[in-house]
Chains A and B, each alone.
Chain A
């Protein structure tokens, strides 16, 4: 099996429009939550990308492209620039695998409003192209020239982790040499925000993962993409990589639609460790799913104890107190945070952590980043519907 290294990353989200800006926001524990533009007067908060000038400058023809695809193209360009790719020598060996939960919902609503609200007869001719769930993968392939396997994975909040895992397997098995992988989501439409609000699990103040006072999640939009490459291919190009993707585990709870099963979560983590050939004791840091909901954070804590032992859990933090929950992009932003944690020897903090919860009694790296040697780290995603994915990154050998 080929070894797989990380040679680039790109981020577009409310916390930052580049990897350094994103990392600064995480370390500063600085959220940017405000009432979502699509639902004025409701008090529904979101982490929204508000800078229209920057969006216009992302370099994609906006009339035929949903925000979700636009974000993905911008993140892909950043990631390829860091990886030192200008053009691909063998584009048929470059895969694109992108996680996306909901497709072009902003575009769908905008156009369907014309019919349902305004009694107009026509929608924009690019509605289908904007709305299709796979459009971000198509746009990234067109924008970068990648001509290898190209598809979207959709598993709600675990979409991006599944995408990175699927890309990892393509590279390991020899089906591709390079993969652009991660996730994108632009869910901040009137309908989607109200649908989430109807579940009564959104916070109206801020997202406080693992804190006793936590009262829900906050939706976000954005994209995160990484460039994965076989170690051999990176070496041949003269690229030194400092972090590798070492293991991937995924499974299903086959249980409750909403309430995660700690056994299922724990099994995904164990699968990822076994895939990496590592033991729980090797993991120095865990980047949590940590949504800030009552159920997830308590059950994720239980799962951690099942895998690592009650007194032996490594520090675990959730970046959702800063980023909010970007659904199909979340696993990618968190994988990038995990890579940066290894590279910089710093665990990003859990923001807005104001009060310990007896049910969540691990070391959550509260509010302040922690300098520590991190040779191996895990990034976990646990989606609605009981879909679990766990990634293990390590310092490249």
Chain B
């Protein structure tokens, strides 16, 4: 397991597009804003939406995301940062 609270870097590629697809239904009215640089707090999802989103990601990639709704949610920044962290977890699971 890895902590996803502090993330850096720019994301592109399949994880970002998967993430945008998963987040889409939760981000009503903000679907056009789902880009790497968009801040998660700006897309109208709450911490429990986020728990469902993480569940779908864990199921999709077969990874465990170390997330605590009490402390981690407010420290997450952009969709791109989030995609980066997921990419790292996916890479750690199956090294190239």
Which residues of A come within 8 Å of B, CB atoms?
198-201, 203-204, 214-216, 256-259, 293-295
B69 to A199, Cβ gap below 8 A?
yes
32-48 of chain B: CB within 8 A of chain A: 46-48
Given contacts A258-B48, A259-B46, contact A201 B55 (CB under 8 A): no
Choice from A201, A257, A258 contacting B68 with Cβ under 8 Å: A201
CB-CB nearest 6 A-B residue pairs: A294-B70, A200-B69, A215-B70, A216-B70, A215-B71, A200-B51
Cα–Cα distance between A373 and B67 once the two chains are bound (Å): 43
A201 to B46, Cβ gap below 8 A?
no
Cα–Cα distance between A199 and B54 once the two chains are bound (Å): 10
Cα–Cα distance between A382 and B67 once the two chains are bound (Å): 24
B 45-60 binary contact with A (CB < 8 Å = 1; else 0): 0111001001100000
CB A209 to nearest CB in B, in angstroms, measures 12
Cα–Cα distance between A294 and B50 once the two chains are bound (Å): 15
Residues of B within 8 A of A256 (CB): 46
Cα–Cα distance between A203 and B51 once the two chains are bound (Å): 15
Cα–Cα distance between A200 and B70 once the two chains are bound (Å): 8
Summed over the interface, the residue pairs from A and B with CB atoms below 8 Å come to a total of 35
Q: Which of B48, B54, B70 has the most CB of A within 10 A?
A: B70
Residues of A within 8 A of B55 (CB): 198
Residues of B within 8 A of A214 (CB): 70
CB B72 to nearest CB in A, in angstroms, measures 8
B51 to A199, Cβ gap below 8 A?
yes
Residue in B closest to A202 when the chains form the complex, CB atoms: B68
Cα–Cα distance between A294 and B67 once the two chains are bound (Å): 14
CB B2 to nearest CB in A, in angstroms, measures 15
Choice from A198, A259, A293 contacting B70 with Cβ under 8 Å: A293
Residues of B within 8 A of A204 (CB): 68
Between-chain CB contacts (< 8 Å), 9 pairs: A198-B51, A200-B68, A200-B69, A201-B70, A203-B68, A214-B70, A215-B68, A215-B71, A293-B70
Residue in B closest to A258 when the chains form the complex, CB atoms: B48
CB A295 to nearest CB in B, in angstroms, measures 8
Known: A293-B69, A294-B69, A295-B47. 5 other contacts (CB 8 A): A198-B51, A199-B48, A204-B68, A216-B70, A295-B70
